[in-house]
Amino acid sequence: MKHYLLYPGCSMEASARAYYDSLMQVAEPIGLELEEIKDWNCCGATEYLGISLTPAYALISRNLALASQQANGSRTVVAPCSACYLNLAKADYYMREQPRLGKMVNEALAAGGLAYQPGSLDVRHLLDVIVYDIGLETVKSKVVRPLSNLRVAPYLGCMVPRPDFEKRWSDHEHPVELDQLLKALGAEVIDFPLKTHCCGGHMTQISPDTAFELIRRLVSSADHYQADIMATLCPMCQLNLDAYQGEMNRHFGTHYRMPVVFFTQLMGLAFGLKPQDLGFGSELVSAKAALTKIGLQVPQAPAAPPKGRKEQGLPMPKPLPPRGSRALAEGEVQK
């Protein structure tokens, strides 16, 4: 077993519950022992940095301080969420690059009886740890249900391969790690050209038109390459592409139905685990059709939204037609 400190991040407890559940399921078979940092706090996402600098870095660094206190035998912090990973890595790196920042952050931490020595921890992303520490051979050895015939678009988003302070990835724009992992699971991995392009981040909240265009590019490209499913490693990417896909479709008059799941969920399937234990069924764009390709049924969603809309009712959107988006999608491209 390899021992690491885990920084789950807020999303893993809510919108990205499926990521957390599936990670907990696949960690043991591959010998990944994760110890959660006790009483961790939010990393501030991309919001706090834009408000004020010292509090933002102090907020991030409380987690580093707690982790270094707790570090029994491990100095590696693993973060599965991209924004959390980048914030923790960034704080550690900038406090080394600019010692004045480290001094100020430590002065703030001292108010809570904490301290952090920049550089004393390694901050790494979950995928990095699985591919480079655990190894693809170990992953391959656990596969009992190869994902043959499942066409998967590997989607990393921005903040894991970039800015990559410690040069951990094979490339900033076209890294191959996720492709390799999915191939080890037996999946048919498409060469997804937009694999590190932006999902829109918080733009779905503040400038929806900007976000919808970015979401459209990604989904339409994956659809164009005839992917059955997209595999991501970021809660924000999953939320934007999955939960806002319907609104994006209405915005552009398209009919995409591209399921987006976490790569750990696909690992679990390949390891022979049950879909319901891996958080399948919680995606808003159902992965059912994709999973039938590997002979699996997705559990029913817990509760359906209320039915029976009236003609004179509130302007509720029409339910989306079943998958068959390709023809319409091409028509949409011609515009």
Partner 1 sequence: MPQRQVAMLGVVVEQVRAGLRTEEDLSLLSEVSASTAGVSRLEMCIQCGTCGGSCPSAADMDHTPRMLFAMLRAGMREYVLRSNTPWICVSCYHCVVRCPQNVHIADVMYTLKGMAIKAKLYQDSTAPDFSRTFVDMVEEYGRSFEFGLATRHYLKHFPLRLPSMTPMALGMLSKERMTITPKRIRQIGQLKAILKRAKQMEATNGHGGAS
Stretch that binds partner 1, among 129-137, 177-185, 225-233, 303-311 (CB under 8 A): 303-311
| Site for partner 1 contains 85 (CB under 8 A) | no
Neighbours of 265 (CB within 10 A): 29
Phi, psi of 69 (to 5 degrees): -65, -40
Q: Which of 39, 137, 310, 312 binds partner 1 (CB under 8 A)?
A: 39
| Site for partner 1 contains 252 (CB under 8 A) | no
| Site for partner 1 contains 197 (CB under 8 A) | yes
**Which positions from 272 through 301 interact with partner 1, judged by CB under 8 A?**
281-282, 284, 301
| Site for partner 1 contains 175 (CB under 8 A) | no
CA 298 to chain centre: 21
**Which positions from 119 through 148 interact with partner 1, judged by CB under 8 A?**
none
Q: Which of 20, 48, 192, 212 binds partner 1 (CB under 8 A)?
A: 48
Nearest to partner 1 of 25, 106 (CB atom): 106
> Regarding beta strands 151-155 and 122-125, do their DSSP bridges make them parallel or antiparallel, or are they unpaired?
unpaired
| Site for partner 1 contains 105 (CB under 8 A) | yes
Cα–Cα dist 239/5, whole Å: 25
Report the candidate in 15, 177, 1 with the shortest Cα–Cα distance to residue 83: 15
301 secondary structure, DSSP code: P
Q: Is 87 exposed, middle or buried (0-12, 13-18, 19+ CB in 10 A)?
A: buried
Q: Which of 24, 31, 94, 224 binds partner 1 (CB under 8 A)?
A: 94
Q: List beta partners, residue 219.
A: none
| Site for partner 1 contains 151 (CB under 8 A) | no
Nearest to partner 1 of 54, 148 (CB atom): 54
| Site for partner 1 contains 111 (CB under 8 A) | yes
241 secondary structure, DSSP code: I
Are the C-beta atoms of residues 126 and 80 closer than 8 Å to each other? yes
Smallest gap from residue 282 Cβ to partner 1 (A): 5
Token match 């694999």: residue?
195
Q: Which of 28, 33, 97, 330 binds partner 1 (CB under 8 A)?
A: 97
| Site for partner 1 contains 118 (CB under 8 A) | no
Smallest gap from residue 311 Cβ to partner 1 (A): 15
Phi, psi of 317 (to 5 degrees): -70, 150
Structure tokens that stand for 14 in this block? 């809510």
